[in-house]
Chains A and B, each alone.
Chain A
Amino acid sequence: DTGVSQDPRHKITKRGQNVTFRCDPISEHNRLYWYRQTLGQGPEFLTYFQNEAQLEKSRLLSDRFSAERPKGSFSTLEIQRTEQGDSAMYLCASSTPVQGVTGELFFGEGSRLTVL
Chain B
Amino acid sequence: AQSVTQLGSHVSVSEGALVLLRCNYSSSVPPYLFWYVQYPNQGLQLLLKYTSAATLVKGINGFEAEFKKSETSFHLTKPSAHMSDAAEYFCAVSDKGIQGAQKLVFGQGTRLTINP
Give complex CA distance A44, B41 in Å.
17
Is B44 in contact with A41, judged by CB distance below 8 angstroms? no
Q: Is A70 an interface residue (CB 8 A)?
A: no
Find A50's partner among B101, B105, B106 (CB 8 Å cutoff): B101
Given contacts A56-B97, A103-B32, contact A91 B103 (CB under 8 A): no
A79 to chain B, nearest CB (A): 19
Q: How many residues of A contact B (CB 8 A)?
A: 28
Is B98 in contact with A56, judged by CB distance below 8 angstroms? yes
Closest to A46 in B: B103
Closest to A106 in B: B46
Q: Is B45 an interface residue (CB 8 A)?
A: yes
On chain B, the residues within 8 Å of A56 by CB distance are: 97-99, 101, 103
Is A107 in contact with B43, judged by CB distance below 8 angstroms? yes
Q: Is B49 an interface residue (CB 8 A)?
A: yes
Most central of B41, B44, B51, B109 by chain A CB within 10 Å: B44
Q: Is A42 an interface residue (CB 8 A)?
A: yes
A→B interface (CB under 8 Å): 4, 6, 31, 33, 40-45, 48, 50, 55-56, 91, 93, 100-110, 112
